Copies of this chain bind each other. A is one copy, B any other.
């Protein structure tokens, strides 16, 4: 059930905290202090006000807040003892079901990170693949303390923005979703190409998994991902064009399955990846933006 911005703007402090107290992990004080800044013209302004409370808090309070977060892929996750939000976020990537080897790798990273910074590694897991989490984990462990504190608070912003948007109705919602789409155009005929089967794979360090599949519609278009942040990582689209050109093809046809491999770096962006194709050539580029 969602709340409207109008209702929030009209509520007293107790109601406000009841509604928003769990947006920041174990941190109802953030909502308490943000209450004074009402009314909020947009959901974005509300989120910014709550983040300002965190950034303005004394260093001790900030660290206590960060320490209230669960470890990524850690024992708390395995034991299931997380807040509902954290459980849903980590579970979506399977971080609560790691193999023993993976669990050991996360344990090592968690230990090194905690020893250096004194709080657990925090990242908006809904914006990442497992590979990009590990890459960031290793890179951020090399940060100095101030840079890493800023990075952790920036990730708190990503996490709470998503939690807030899930709970709120109202104007000025911050952008928390991305989109991956494609468009197949056959320049032999000068027409969009309907009925091309397209598969999307995540290309992991050790494995690949099929995330989505679609047929191009009458305009030659297909939407593969939408309605959520895209996950930073490496992907491959596979366009099954062999059948489309079967009549004019050599045996075997020069092009059959066309792979287009690319990375997503901006979870809230639109990645439009068209394929302009003939039986003997193709062009692809990043459109959208």
> A interface vs B, CB < 8 Å?
132, 185, 187-192, 219-220, 232-234, 236, 250-259, 261-263, 265-266, 276, 278-287, 289
Of chain B, the residue at the smallest CB distance from A282 is B284
Assess the A283–B279 pair: CB atoms within 8 A. no
How distant is the Cα of A255 from the Cα of B191 in the complex, in angstroms? 15
Extra 16 A-B pairs, beta carbons < 8 Å, given A185-B285, A190-B254:
A132-B252, A187-B187, A187-B286, A188-B279, A188-B280, A190-B280, A191-B289, A219-B289, A232-B252, A250-B263, A250-B266, A254-B265, A259-B261, A276-B281, A281-B284, A281-B286
Least Cβ distance of A247 to chain B in Å? 13
Of chain B, the residue at the smallest CB distance from A271 is B254
Of chain B, the residue at the smallest CB distance from A278 is B187
Copies of this chain held together in the complex: 4
> Can you list 16 A-B contacts (CB < 8 A)?
A132-B252, A187-B281, A188-B278, A189-B280, A190-B285, A232-B252, A250-B263, A251-B265, A252-B263, A252-B265, A255-B262, A276-B281, A281-B284, A281-B285, A282-B285, A283-B283
Assess the B289–A192 pair: CB atoms within 8 A. yes
How distant is the Cα of A94 from the Cα of B192 in the complex, in angstroms? 36
Assess the A261–B250 pair: CB atoms within 8 A. no
How distant is the Cα of A261 from the Cα of B241 in the complex, in angstroms? 12
How distant is the Cα of A280 from the Cα of B274 in the complex, in angstroms? 12
How distant is the Cα of A132 from the Cα of B266 in the complex, in angstroms? 42
Query: Which residues does chain B contribute within 8 Å of A287, judged by CB atoms?
Result: 185, 192
Query: Which residues does chain B contribute within 8 Å of A254, judged by CB atoms?
Result: 190, 262-263, 265, 286
Query: Which residues does chain B contribute within 8 Å of A276, judged by CB atoms?
Result: 281, 283, 285
Query: Which residues does chain B contribute within 8 Å of A282, judged by CB atoms?
Result: 283-285
Least Cβ distance of A147 to chain B in Å? 16
Query: Which residues does chain B contribute within 8 Å of A280, judged by CB atoms?
Result: 187-190, 285-286
Least Cβ distance of A58 to chain B in Å? 33
Of chain B, the residue at the smallest CB distance from A233 is B252
Closest 7 CB pairs of A and B: A190-B280, A281-B285, A187-B281, A252-B263, A250-B265, A283-B283, A187-B278
